[in-house]
Amino acid sequence: MNMQARRKVAAFAAFLSACVFSAAARADFRMCNNTAARVSVAMAYTNGASWVSEGWWNIKPAACETLLRGPLAAEFYYVYAIDEHGGEWKGKAFMCTRDREFRIDGREDCFVRGFDRSGFFEVDTGKDAKNWTVQLTDNGQNR
């Protein structure tokens, strides 16, 4: 193989490597707000040993936000969202929250520990998913 051919192969290998690494960097848990109002979002998940809830991400109408960066570590995530008009997306999995920005370890005794208690809806990402996007809509699919 001559020197010019080697350079082309090396350049192609570098290009493929960059594609692989940039694809891996895009493995995230994302939330898209497909409504006409700004939405505040909280999420919860287990880290294998305990529960963690955190928030708030404020997402403008017709925008998306990355809530967790990197490949997904769990199959189930939990989301609670409320819009600026009082509409909410909720479920039956209760987690601790608060009015301002938070990261709370544990989901038990929310009130005793000085937190609020909110019902989150479950998001099943499947066993092998490396990334996931949740779409919040006005038509109540996730409410």
The three-class DSSP label of residue 121 is: strand
Average pLDDT for 73-80: 90
**pLDDT tens per residue, range 12-64:** 333 333 333 334 445 689 999 999 999 999 999 987 888 999 999 999 999 99
At 81, phi and psi to the nearest 5?
Answer: -140, 150
Q: CB count, 10 Å around CB of 78?
A: 23
Average pLDDT for 126-133: 84
- Report the predicted TM-score, pTM, of the whole model to 2 decimal places: 0.76
The three-class DSSP label of residue 132 is: strand
pLDDT of residue 41: 95
Q: Which two tokens stand for residue 117?
A: 């208690």
Q: Where are the domains of the chain?
A: 28-137
Question: Whole-angstrom Cα distance, residue 98 to residue 42?
Answer: 10
Question: Whole-angstrom Cα distance, residue 131 to residue 112?
Answer: 35
pLDDT of residue 103: 95
Average pLDDT for 73-77: 87
At 15, phi and psi to the nearest 5?
Answer: -60, -45
The three-class DSSP label of residue 97 is: strand
The three-class DSSP label of residue 140 is: coil
Q: Which two tokens stand for residue 112?
A: 């005793």
